[in-house]
Every structure is written in C-alpha cells, then in structure tokens.
Amino acid sequence: MVSEPTAKTMSYAAALETVVAEEMRQDPSVCMLGTMVPPALAAEFGPRARVTPISEPAVTGLAVGLAQTGKRPVVYWRNITFAFNAFDQVINHAAKLRSMSGDQVRVPAVFRAPCGGGHGLAAQHSQSPYSIYAHIAGLKVVVPSSPADAAGLLRAAIRHDDPVVCFEPVRLADAAGPVPQGHLVPLGEAEVKREGSDVTLVAVGSMVPLALEAAEELSGDVSIEVVDPRTVSPLDVTTIRASVRRTGRIVVADEAPAMCSVAAEVVALVTEDSETFSALRAAPARVCALHLPVPFSEPLEEEVLPGRDEVVGAIRALVR
C-alpha cells in the first residue's frame, strides 16, 4: 500500500521557493539566476544560485546558453514588467532554438514572472500578458492558482526539456494551502476545481479563488463547474470542451484584458468545435480586465480589474 504523501501548509510564494530549492538539491544541473536570490539558496548552492546585475537581456540570454549546454536554469525576472526587456532572448532564441537547430538541442529554461495587479503598483507593474507568450510557438506558459499548483507546475517546468514561462499572480503570493511533498502537476492538464452542471466557469490565475467564491455564492441557484486550465499554452482543450458539452454554457474569467487573450482563445476553441458549439445554450461570456493600463488609484484599479461581483453578474446574466 502506498501511503499518501504528506502535505505541508504553505503560502503560494513559499511553495515556489521551496520547489526551486528542492529541485536544485536533487538535480545538480538546476541553477538559478536573479537580481534577488533568497539568502538560504545562495548559502546552500553557492555559484549555482547567482545574484545578477539588472540586465534582463543578458541574464535571459545566459539562461539560453546554460540550457544549451546541459543546465536547467531558473531565471527569476521579479516582475513580468522587466521581462519585456528580454523579449528577444525569449522569443527569438529560447523558443526557437530547438526547432531552428533541427532538434539538435533543447532549451530547458524556466522564466519566473510575477504578474498581475491588486497591490497599487500602477500600470507598469500590474500586467498579466500571458497571451503574448502563449502566442509564441516553442514556449509553454503556466499560470498556477494555488500553492499546490504553484509547486506542482514549477517542478514540472524545471524538469521539462523546453522553455516554460511561469506566471505568478502577485495577488496570490500570501494565499496558503496544502502542498503535497514532491507534488508534480503535468504541463498541459487543466483541473476541474469544482464540479457543476449549469455553467462552465473557466478561470485563470488569480481569478480562480474568486471564481470558487462566486460558485459558492451562487450554489443555491446555479451549479457551476470551475475549470482552471493551469497551463495556458498548450491549453487543455479536451477538458474545457467536455465540461462545456455537459453544462451548455461558458464564462471565462481572467484578470488580463479580453483583447487577443487566453480568454479569447478559450472561447474560440469552444465555438469552433461543432459538437461543443451545438451544446451551447447561451453565447459565451468573458469577464476580463478593461482594455486600459491599470490605474494606480485604488477604486480605479478595482474598476479596471475584474472581481467576484463581475463573475457573479456574468453568470446571472447567462442563466437568466
């Protein structure tokens, strides 16, 4: 009989840090680069955990060179904002070298990108641009929504042989939850976080806890199935379509704007499949951020980013 792995309760942020340390411990090819390296990691791993200058293009490019030569670098970008400086290295190099070299080389690099709003950091530091990265063939993109998923997806990303961008919504940093030891979440697998029969609510990243709250709030009237894609590229279209075929309705909730978004892709994948399309009893709806730079001022930030109330409102409108 296999015993249940023990689970520790920890925060989302702690889960991510713990996994980096555990993976560095069990695989000497894992190394870490970042402008901020936890002192405990630096003490334990010495030259494998490197404090870097504020040079995102070079540091990201170094990760490509490390990955090409057998290492598994984890680059901590600190905020997706700074990663825009390193677009060339991610998009033109990390994402394409395997293909362009005719499969001679893999680039097993992980780029950790805290993202999203809610902390009053204004427009530059409150973005959720995972769809920009998901658009690029050759990159995989994950957006964990709980401490367990954070641990499981980051561990899978570090062990994966192609580049992965790990988006970490800052609003979830302090969220606590159980994290099973050695937890591994396969890339590309969605999870049904709550089963239901009236509406499929696909929620991404920071919207997942809010979606679960909304589902609970409406539970007397509407049975809501909450699906978390977890990996936004590649998207687990099978799980999403299967859910929509059961419920006949879909709402997608994401704190990124709807324009050219993951939410847009989810709706497209649902509607372009004739069997799923014929199961629809209502037009798909999206609950996303307004298409605006996120304001600093607190009430305005709340107005621009979607919340639980918008999710509840969208669902009520759908089942009316």
Partner 1 sequence: MLLMRRFDEAALSLVQSGRIRGTVHPYIGQEGCAAGVGAVFEPGDLMVSNHRGHGHCIAAGVEVDRMMAELFGRAGGSCHGMGGSMHIADFERGMLGANGIVGAGVPHAVGAALSLALDGHDRVVIAFFGDGATGQGVVFESMNLAALWSLPVLFVCETNGIASASALTEVLAVETVAEIAAAHGIASERVEGADVVEVRASAQRAADAIRSGGAPRLIECVVDRWGPHASRLAAMPDHRSAEDLAAARRRDPIARLREALIADGTLASPACDELDREAREAVEGAIAFAEMSPYPELAKTSGRGPW
- Annotated catalytic residue within 23, 93, 125, 301: 125
CA triplet 253, 254, 259: central angle to 5 degrees?
Answer: 110
Q: Which of 40, 43, 100, 259 binds partner 1 (CB under 8 A)?
A: 100
Q: Does 49 bind partner 1 (CB under 8 A)?
A: no
In the bound state with partner 1, the residue whose beta carbon lies nearer, of 160 and 249, is 160
Q: Does 186 bind partner 1 (CB under 8 A)?
A: no
User: Least distance in Å: CB of 100 to partner 1?
Assistant: 4
In the bound state with partner 1, the residue whose beta carbon lies nearer, of 87 and 277, is 87
Q: Does 122 bind partner 1 (CB under 8 A)?
A: no
- Annotated catalytic residue within 17, 23, 56, 225: 56
- Of 216-245, binders to partner 1 (CB under 8 A) are 233-234
Is residue 56 annotated as part of the catalytic site, yes or no?
A: yes
Q: Which of 34, 73, 117, 205 binds partner 1 (CB under 8 A)?
A: 73
Choices 102-110, 202-210, 213-221, 279-287; region in contact with partner 1 by CB under 8 A:
102-110
Q: Does 10 bind partner 1 (CB under 8 A)?
A: no
- Of 134-173, binders to partner 1 (CB under 8 A) are 137-138, 140, 162
Active site residues: 56, 125
Which residues sit at the interface with partner 1, rule CB under 8 A?
31, 47-48, 50, 52-53, 55, 57-71, 73, 88-89, 92-93, 97-105, 137-138, 140, 162, 233-234
